[in-house]
A and B are shown apart, each in its own frame.
Chain A
């Protein structure tokens, strides 16, 4: 229809800082982000948190689509972009304008990895997310596939249909399908490390070693960030984190 316009062109002009973590399931990124959140709050910064697939209004449709297996690669991609757009407009950008630190567990790179693993065109999905604000810092938690799979599968998880990539008919066995799907996603992530210059974390290191490294990555960006107003507000945010 027209020249391709793509993600990464919208400037991040806001006083706040956006730190995001990415990685396949079992990479330990959520644990690290939780520790980072605690630390930033204890340092007195104003911190808000945004989680993938959590817009109140859109969630009902996404859940319905997943439960009834109505989603195709295309609608899976679009409903997640809808959710992301709502959170960006209503949570992330207002908080960045206010000078806060916004922490996001998964960002556009999750969509790029998962959707392309499902057969969606990589150029199209990058264009779809063109409205997204590029993060101040994006950290990719790199982990060997076997390590991540072991962390997830040894806990005997109830893998969900789309989570396991069952819609792709890679295997009739849920666990095998999950393995194959995660391998595809990891492949897409690795390509994005170069494409978007994602910072990488060796996610096989001990938790506390990773956390020290993560704080070192974040620290240079903290100049001029708004301070948390009061303990009351702090407690309120911790409830949602």
Chain B
């Protein structure tokens, strides 16, 4: 039985039949604590004996350098940036995610197509178009959305250092200074993620709660997902 499906036509030449792992997505805005929860979830699953792999935005072998370079100069067109991110994602899907699933790993991805769709829409892309672009993506087994208000992100982000140019949407820009733009930009991103959460059925986690409580709920829920869909390698 086929365990994975694509949203649309899928990846050219990719057979989905032999993919046996799990694809778990953690979504949420910048600074919400995704990394912390990815690490905790990983430790939990490894404790249970699962092999875990990870990926996240702009970590591809193919495009990560190019994206970094383009960000430094801020000279790439907005739509070209959307497609550069799509290239990066496609490379990671084919070179990291699919091989891990084929090997029966739990693949935890720190943001998936949803964040990329949200950032493209906020920068003016047509929602139908950008969703169609990403229709080659695999449907995850579960998507966990760390939900917060933009204002509540501010202290968390500032505790780590000054506002980041890109995390503040200053390429658009969305305010007079970094603070204004950060709040407006993250607010729009969160608004789009909220819409995508309804459309794609995310499991929403209130990120303002105690970190341990969130981690407990996340770990328990992922464990249930893994139990419900046993690995075909062991079946």
Contacts and interface: CB of A to CB of B under 8 A. Distances in A.
Given A4-B132, A5-B128, A57-B70, A75 B12 contact: no
A1 B135 contact: yes
A17 B16 CA distance: 45
Nearest to B63: A61
Contact of B84 (A58, A120, A131): A58
Contact of B7 (A1, A73, A88, A90): A1
A89 B129 contact: no
Given A57-B75, A82-B87, A1 B131 contact: yes
Contacts of B65: 60-61, 64
Interface in B38-78: 61-63, 65-66, 69-70, 73, 75-78
Interface of B: 7-9, 11-13, 61-63, 65-66, 69-70, 73, 75-80, 82-84, 86-87, 90-91, 94-95, 126-129, 131-136
A188 to B, nearest CB: 14
Contacts of B79: 85, 88-89, 131
A123 B62 contact: no
Contacts, number: 117
Interface string A87-115: 01110000000000000000000000000
A235 to B, nearest CB: 25
B12 A118 contact: yes
Nearest to A78: B87
Contact of A79 (B63, B127, B133): B63
Range, interface on chain A? 35 or more
Nearest to A4: B132
Nearest to B76: A57
A58 B63 CA distance: 9
Q: Which 8 A-B pairs have the closest CB atoms?
A: A89-B77, A61-B66, A86-B80, A82-B83, A121-B9, A1-B131, A85-B80, A78-B87
B62 A81 contact: no
B92 to A, nearest CB: 10
B136 A124 contact: yes
B67 to A, nearest CB: 8
Interface of A: 1-5, 55, 57-58, 60-61, 64-65, 70-75, 78-79, 81-83, 85-86, 88-90, 118-121, 123-124, 127-128, 130-131
B13 A72 contact: yes
B12 A60 contact: no
A29 B92 CA distance: 37
Given A60-B65, A120-B12, 13 more contacts: A1-B131, A58-B80, A64-B66, A71-B62, A74-B136, A78-B83, A78-B90, A89-B79, A124-B8, A124-B136, A127-B132, A127-B133, A131-B129
A4 B73 CA distance: 34
A78 B86 contact: yes
A61 B12 contact: no
B69 A60 contact: yes
A4 B8 CA distance: 10
